[in-house]
Amino acid sequence: MTDYIPSSSKNFVQQEITKLKGENENLQSEVRSLRQFVLSLDRLYNVADSFQDDSQLLPFLKGTLANAMKLLNAPDGSLALLDEETQELVFVIVVGSLADSLTNHRLSLNEGIAGWVVRNGKPALVADVRRDPRFFSGVDDTFTFKTQSIAAAPLMGANRKTFGIIEVLNHPGSEPFNNNDLGLLKLLCRAAGEALAFIDQMPRDKSKK
């Protein structure tokens, strides 16, 4: 005779199975992200090791931003470099809906979340930019864009010299970027910053020969 299993127990078991499936999917997603992160770092170091002249700089920067956006599943992103003479950020590479209009745009180092990140040498995670006093709406207003969430980190070498910033914008879905996303971005930008510091020394080294 088959034992009777109460419906409440069946529901509990089904809920546990559903929960375990969800946790397994999240774990697999995290593993994929970590693998992608390792591959991204490997590409950065390979490019830096083979760097010979300034013609390779732009492809290196494009690859760095592409890796960051893929890691964080971001539809829009930018890489800006610091112009030390003018104290401005120059948007060298822009991917997404603002690519045509924002590329080569300049932003004062005293403006926006990007300026704050570079001035302070610290990353920033903003779930809702309209609630953050650091946010500068001038770019959105000028180019008819709506920034919602931001994850940003400085491109910084071990000597604390900051070369610029990577920003990724508007995480798809209802959830903004999270601390795990920022952690990956920080590490990627630090590795890229080390590579840029190495590249920055090359012209001086060659000029001494």
> For residues 175 and 69, what is the distance between their CA atoms, to the nearest angstrom?
16
> For residues 156 and 136, what is the distance between their CA atoms, to the nearest angstrom?
23
Q: In a structure prediction context, what are the per-residue pLDDT tens digits for the chain, which is 209 residues long?
A: 456 656 666 676 677 677 666 656 555 555 565 566 666 666 666 666 666 666 778 888 898 899 899 889 999 999 999 999 999 999 999 999 999 999 999 999 999 999 999 999 999 999 999 999 999 999 999 999 999 999 999 999 878 899 999 999 999 887 889 998 999 899 889 988 988 887 777 654 444 44
User: pTM score, two decimals?
Assistant: 0.76
Measured in residues, the chain has a length of 209
Give the residue from 172, 162, 59 showing the smallest Cα distance to 118: 162
**Edge-to-edge, what's the strand order for the sheet holding 88-95?**
106-108, 88-95, 76-83, 162-169, 150-156, 124-126
Beta bridge partners of 106: 90
The answer to whether 151 and 183 are in contact (CB under 8 A) is no
> For residues 65 and 101, what is the distance between their CA atoms, to the nearest angstrom?
18
The answer to whether 94 and 102 are in contact (CB under 8 A) is yes
Cβ neighbours for 202, distance < 8 A, ≥ 6 positions apart: 51
| Domains along the chain with CATH numbers | 7-207 (3.30.450.40)
How many degrees, rounded to 5, is the angle at CA 67 between CA 57 and CA 106? Answer: 55
Tokens (6 digits) for 94:
């822009």
pLDDT at site 132: 96
How many degrees, rounded to 5, is the angle at CA 109 between CA 106 and CA 111? Answer: 90
Give the residue from 137, 191, 200, 136 showing the smallest Cα distance to 166: 191
